[in-house]
Structure 1
Amino acid sequence: MLKATLEQWRMFKAVVDSGGFNQAATSVHKSQSSVHHAVQKLENALGVALFINDGRRVRLTEAGEMMLRRANFLLDEAHKIEAVAASLKRGTETQLRIAVDIIFPPELLYNVLDKVSQEYPLLRIEVMETVLNGANSLLKSAEVDIAISPFPFPTGFSEDLCEIEFVAVAHPRHPLHQLHRPLTKEDLKSHRQIVVRDSSTERKADAGWLGADQRWTVSHVRTSVDIITKGLGFAWLPLAIIRHQLSCGQLVPLPLEQEGVRKALLYLSFEDGDRLGPAARSLIGELRYQSMQLPSAERVFDNSR
């Protein structure tokens, strides 16, 4: 038999979060005496003091600090259990929210969405295009159900989804192509590089080679492709996204001495698999299958010659 109830732990956490019994009573819509009684029963059941009076406020004892860490986990798990039950009660979900890093091949994404929509015609799908930390930031704040990100999700589930290959490219008439020799990093430094801005609001990150003295920063890879095809700079771009531009000669890979192709791993992440409905599971299965069809750099280059 458990000595403490979830409700007592909830009152304990409310006092910590609010800074006192009166404030906690207001936040949980109970009387001050009810909150105080619940915490007192909790202390008696555990046999330890959780709070020390400090003037008008209360502060945690050393034992209280330890109990708070465990209580946070316990209450979080309780919320997850209720969310799973709610998901089971609803059956098939009516909405699915996905954060997708912009380097993920769009044609592959469209195929996945179409397959899932055929299977679940009443499903509303919301796709949020992100850069670098943006997808995980949305997943962390529960604004999306599934994320495709170049970084693993630290607190939930993440698996390797696919490897994206990048190549440094420029318009065929760009000055770098006029050197007619293998290019060094020093050659690149003197020319404008086009980079894409991190869409996360929490922490910003840069990815790829950023050694150029002059850079233009944009918000989407499509903008970068447009700028490069006009001969206004060079960029590292995902091969799967620029296949058409390579095949028709609008873009040409730069003849680098080293690292002509770079690779980045994309991760498929979600918070809790038990909370995902059948449509989300179907989408994850399609993502796994379609990602296995990605072309390699050698195939793309062969088709562009």
Structure 2
Amino acid sequence: MLRISLEQWRMFHAVVEFGGFNQASQGVHKSQSSIHNAVSKIENSLGVKLFKIEGRKTVLTEAGQLMLQRANYLLQEAKKIEAIGQTLSQGIETTLKIAVDEIFPRTVLYQVLEKVSVQYPLLQIELIETILSGASELLSQDAVEIAISPISLGTGFSESLCYITFNAVASPTHPLHKLKRKLSLEDLKSYRQIVVRDSAHLHKDKKASEGWLEANQRWTVSHLQSSIDMICKGLGFAWLPVNLIEQQLNDKELIPLKLNENRQRSTQLYLTFKDGDSLGPAASSFIAEMRLQCLHLQNT
């Protein structure tokens, strides 16, 4: 059994917040005697002195300062519990799980997540970054509520969200740039290609390997950033999303290959979810904001 109530801790916090017992009584609309009694109850129960008088000021003792830190945490957690209860009563989900392909523009994603978080401050967001069919697999397994993927799920709702442009690139020192002529796809097959592994776990023998030219040598990595780093170091070539390598292109760390065809590629991304009626308000807000931001993206 707790010896000190949450209300008594609240009275203690009020004395500190408003700068004295008299001020606290006005701030929380309680009598000064009830606040004194609450603080005295804490002091007597714990055997510590929380306040001391210096001149006309009521100030915390060292023990009071320590207890204030704990009391602040306790009161904040109590507020969170009440807020979560209100959230649940309104049917707002507490967790939103989203799978997003790594090629999707990060700036747009972060803007959408921030706006949803401001609207639903208690929402816990779980972001899973995937490659190729990984997001669709997670959605099919009900591991996430929403997927942004280049693979359109056969069931549920899928809509075209945006198109991502890829450039064939290599570092300035790569031998392909030294050929000083237009390159064919056959030219590329003689050099190492960096390929990003499909993040799906099921049907490993059928994993997607989009973009692979069947080059004589292939390095396969799990993340796009690894591919970008390797290519910047002259270890191979690849088609990479332009939105992820803008800085490297501007700094001439990466240079587009002079292909006579297929210099650029475009991949469609889909926004997919299984059942719109089962989505909570936060998920619906994420979808609406994502549509809006991608519409702006296409118009720029």
For residues 244-255 of structure 1, the aligned pairs below 5 Å read 244-255=247-258
What residue identity is the alignment partner of 1:207? E
8 Å CA contact 2:162–2:298 kept in 1: the answer is: no
State yes or no: 1:99 paired with 2:99. Answer: yes
Aligned to 2:232: 229
For residues 70-89 of structure 1, the aligned pairs below 5 Å read none
Provide the alpha-carbon RMSD of the alignment.
Answer: 1.8
Runs of 4+ in 1 over 6 A off after TM superposition: none
Q: Identical aligned pairs, as a percentage?
A: 58
State yes or no: 1:267 paired with 2:270. Answer: yes
Counting matched residue pairs gives 211
- In 2, distance between residues paired with 1:254 and 1:294? 26
Question: What SS does structure 2 have at the residue aligned with 1:226?
Answer: helix
- In 2, distance between residues paired with 1:211 and 1:295? 33
Aligned to 1:191: 191
- In 2, distance between residues paired with 1:261 and 1:251? 15
What residue identity is the alignment partner of 2:139? L
Aligned to 1:123: 123
- In 2, distance between residues paired with 1:273 and 1:124? 20
What residue identity is the alignment partner of 1:288? R
- In 1, distance between residues paired with 2:148 and 2:116? 17
State yes or no: 1:177 paired with 2:182. Answer: no
What residue identity is the alignment partner of 2:135? A
Structure 1: give runs of 5+ residues left out of the alignment. Answer: 1-86, 300-305
Cα offset, 1:212, TM superposition:
1.1
Cα offset, 1:283, TM superposition:
0.6
Aligned to 1:137: 137
Bigger radius of gyration among the two: 2
Cα offset, 1:293, TM superposition:
3.5
Cα offset, 1:278, TM superposition:
1.0
Cα offset, 1:137, TM superposition:
0.8
What residue identity is the alignment partner of 1:281? S
- In 2, distance between residues paired with 1:270 and 1:295? 22
Question: What SS does structure 1 have at the residue aligned with 2:243?
Answer: coil
State yes or no: 1:201 paired with 2:201. Answer: yes
**1:198-227, CA deviations, whole angstroms, 9 ceiling, x for partnerless residues?**
111123111114231100000000100010
TM-score, length of structure 1 as denominator length: 0.66
- In 2, distance between residues paired with 1:170 and 1:154? 36
Cα offset, 1:159, TM superposition:
0.5
- In 1, distance between residues paired with 2:197 and 2:189? 19
Aligned to 1:3: none
- In 2, distance between residues paired with 1:110 and 1:215? 32
- In 1, distance between residues paired with 2:166 and 2:241? 4
**1:123-155, CA deviations, whole angstroms, 9 ceiling, x for partnerless residues?**
110000111111111111111000001011111
What residue identity is the alignment partner of 1:122? L
**1:153-190, CA deviations, whole angstroms, 9 ceiling, x for partnerless residues?**
11111000110111100001111111111111121011
State yes or no: 1:281 paired with 2:284. Answer: yes
- In 2, distance between residues paired with 1:118 and 1:184? 50
What residue identity is the alignment partner of 1:142? D
Question: What SS does structure 2 have at the residue aligned with 1:129?
Answer: strand
8 Å CA contact 1:240–1:294 kept in 2: the answer is: no
Question: What SS does structure 1 have at the residue aligned with 2:186?
Answer: helix
**1:246-285, CA deviations, whole angstroms, 9 ceiling, x for partnerless residues?**
1111111001000111011000000100011111111111
What residue identity is the alignment partner of 1:130? T
- In 2, distance between residues paired with 1:157 and 1:256? 37
- In 2, distance between residues paired with 1:119 and 1:156? 26
- In 2, distance between residues paired with 1:210 and 1:186? 9
- In 1, distance between residues paired with 2:153 and 2:90? 27
8 Å CA contact 1:149–1:267 kept in 2: the answer is: yes
TM-score, length of structure 2 as denominator length: 0.68
Cα offset, 1:243, TM superposition:
0.7
- In 1, distance between residues paired with 2:212 and 2:263? 12
- In 1, distance between residues paired with 2:110 and 2:280? 20
